[in-house]
């Protein structure tokens, strides 16, 4: 078992672009969630050794000291976790005081992912983030002072009215700081989010596609100059600081997901999706009958669907798709459909039989992957 993912569905307020499952509740609901989380972990425990633990959300940093301690006590009691395991904790910058950061170290957290998104206060207000740029810088200082040496930050580009020059300034701020990892994503207008409706009403203007592509090109080049490897399309790391947890996702390894909205995968063909309902999740552990399971759905992937997932996940990475893992039928199909991109030097095949995106291919990766899907 490669890893454990824990979805913490609480936010102090919703960001206008976010489509991940989260809700705004108080101490009573958080306590019930922690109780149900521990019950779910006990019910679905494995004897496999866990290599990575990732707390995401939502906003895990919304959990208080007592709640986090209960979660981690249960993790170590229920599961066998490798001594060198990677523990990642997602956090909002204004939650990370020096005291909070020191508590994370005591819990065993050795990697923090900060949702900075922008160092421009006006942009932060536009996307309804609750922290300021100064609070982001302070959080970075607090994480390092507490002794955590593996720090990742998230940035977004293609924000409303953002220019290429604005984005270049953002990256200069980021690379001037003591960070080891950067995740950078283009803003998307997900249906059902406030930002989606603001665009429809003309309240915000979407960044045009050419500018967004120019921003991505600059990001790729500037990160390399700063000594960051682009090991996945949207992820950049200094040597030795790749996200082990996310890398295992892209490799198709197994993981257990706990909490409302969490996903699990057995590493072969079975996916599990916990339902996005906090009330139903919390109720599962309070029923008089013995604990059965939290509300969830199971999906069994076909061979064709597994092939498509391999294209979508592994081709995004620096290592690419291992052709030797494919059966003859799918290998033949992939090589045939990849040929036009090989001729245009958007894809390459390495000496160890891996199909990889070239630097130029990264910028048109969506088009390439679409063409490589199983018919």
Sheet holding 354-357, edge to edge: 321-322, 354-357, 347-349
39 with 138, same domain: the answer is yes
pLDDT value at residue 246: 97
Query: Which residue reads 């997602």 in tokens?
Result: 90
Which helix (H) or strand (E) is 174 found in, with range?
helix 164-175
pLDDT value at residue 229: 98
Give first-to-last CA distance, the chain, whole Å. 32
Length of the chain: 375
236 with 328, same domain: the answer is no
pLDDT value at residue 18: 58
34 with 143, same domain: the answer is yes
Distance CA 210, CA 367 (A): 15
- Could you say which residues of the chain have pLDDT below 70? 1, 13-25, 197, 287-292
Please indicate, yes or no, whether the overall pTM of this predicted structure exceeds 0.75.
yes
Q: What is the CATH number of the domain that holds 74?
A: 3.30.750.200
Q: Which of 250, 282, 300 is the last residue of a domain?
A: 250
Angle between helices 365-372 and 303-314 (to 10 degrees): 160
Report which DSSP code applies to 276: S
Distance CA 66, CA 73 (A): 11
Best CA proximity match to 88, nearest among 287, 204, 222, 237: 237
pLDDT value at residue 19: 53
% of residues, the chain, pLDDT over 90: 79
Q: What is the largest CA-CA distance in the chain?
A: 64
> What does R_g of the chain's alpha carbons equal in angstroms?
21
Handedness of CA 84, 243, 371, 359 (dihedral sign): negative
240 with 336, same domain: the answer is no
Best CA proximity match to 352, nearest among 323, 310, 313: 323
Distance CA 109, CA 65 (A): 13
44: its two tokens: 């679905």
214 with 325, same domain: the answer is no
State pLDDT tens for residues 118-173.
999 999 988 888 899 999 999 999 999 999 999 999 999 999 889 999 999 999 99
Best CA proximity match to 345, nearest among 331, 359, 366, 334: 359
pLDDT value at residue 16: 59
180 with 53, same domain: the answer is yes
Tell me, yes or no, whether 119 lies in a domain. Answer: yes
Range of the domain at 360: 319-372
State pLDDT tens for residues 203-215.
778 889 899 999 9
- Number of structural domains (the chain) is 2
**Contact indicator for 160, 205 with CB cutoff of 8 Å:** yes
Q: Which of 233, 250, 267 is the last residue of a domain?
A: 250
Q: Transcribe 52-92 into DSSP letters.
A: EEEEEES-GGGS-HHHHHHHHHHHHHHSEEEEEEEEEEEE-
325: its two tokens: 């893992």
243 with 330, same domain: the answer is no
Tell me, yes or no, whether 31 lies in a domain. Answer: yes
pLDDT value at residue 352: 96
Which helix (H) or strand (E) is 154 found in, with range?
strand 151-157
Tell me, yes or no, whether 291 lies in a domain. Answer: no
**Contact indicator for 11, 262 with CB cutoff of 8 Å:** no
Name 265's bridge partners.
255, 271
Distance CA 151, CA 148 (A): 7
pLDDT value at residue 26: 75
224 with 326, same domain: the answer is no
User: Based on the number of CB atoms within 10 Å of its own CB, is 345 exposed (0-12), middle (13-18) or buried (19 or more)?
Assistant: exposed
Tell me, yes or no, whether 307 lies in a domain. Answer: no
**Contact indicator for 92, 63 with CB cutoff of 8 Å:** no
323 with 215, same domain: the answer is no
Handedness of CA 154, 159, 164, 170 (dihedral sign): negative
40 with 143, same domain: the answer is yes
Best CA proximity match to 137, nearest among 153, 125, 159: 153
156 with 8, same domain: the answer is yes
Where do the DSSP E strands lie in 158-198? 181-186
Q: Which of 200, 227, 250 is the last residue of a domain?
A: 250
Tell me, yes or no, whether 311 lies in a domain. Answer: no
pLDDT value at residue 58: 84
């Amino acid at each position: 078992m490669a890893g454990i993912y824990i979805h913490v569905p609480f936010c102090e307020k919703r960001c206008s672009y976010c489509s991940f499952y989260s809700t705004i509740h108080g101490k009573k609901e958080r306590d019930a969630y922690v109780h149900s989380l521990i019950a779910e972990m006990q019910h679905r425990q494995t004897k496999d050794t866990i290599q990575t633990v990732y707390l995401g959300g939502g906003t895990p940093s919304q959990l208080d000291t007592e709640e986090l301690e209960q979660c981690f006590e249960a993790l170590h009691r229920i599961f066998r976790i490798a001594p060198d395991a990677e523990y990642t904790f997602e956090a909002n910058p204004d939650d990370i005081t020096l005291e909070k950061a020191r508590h994370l170290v005591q819990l065993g957290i050795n990697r923090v992912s900060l949702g900075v998104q922008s160092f421009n206060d006006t942009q932060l207000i536009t996307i309804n983030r609750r922290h300021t740029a100064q609070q982001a810088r302070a959080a970075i200082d607090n994480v390092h002072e507490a002794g955590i040496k593996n720090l990742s930050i998230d940035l977004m580009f293609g924000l409303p009215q953002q220019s290429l020059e604005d984005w270049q300034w953002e990256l200069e701020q980021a690379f001037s700081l003591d960070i080891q990892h950067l995740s950078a994503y283009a803003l998307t207008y997900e249906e059902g989010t406030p930002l989606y409706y603001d665009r429809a009403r003309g309240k915000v203007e979407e960044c045009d596609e050419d500018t967004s592509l120019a921003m991505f090109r600059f990001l790729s080049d500037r990160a390399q100059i700063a000594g960051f490897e682009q090991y996945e399309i949207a992820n950049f790391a200094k040597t030795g600081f790749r996200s082990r947890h996310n890398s295992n996702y892209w490799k198709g390894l197994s993981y257990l997901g706990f909490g409302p909205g969490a996903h699990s995968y057995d590493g072969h063909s079975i996916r599990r999706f916990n339902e996005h309902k906090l009330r139903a999740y919390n109720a599962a552990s309070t029923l008089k009958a013995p604990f059965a399971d939290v509300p969830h759905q199971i999906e069994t992937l076909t061979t064709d669907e597994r092939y498509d997932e391999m294209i979508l996940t592994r081709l995004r990475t620096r290592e690419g798709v291992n052709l030797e893992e494919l059966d003859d039928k799918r290998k033949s199909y992939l090589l045939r459909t990849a040929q036009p991109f090989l001729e245009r030097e958007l894809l390459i095949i390495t000496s160890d039989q891996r199909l990889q995106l070239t630097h130029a291919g990264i910028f048109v990766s969506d088009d390439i992957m679409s063409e490589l899907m199983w018919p």
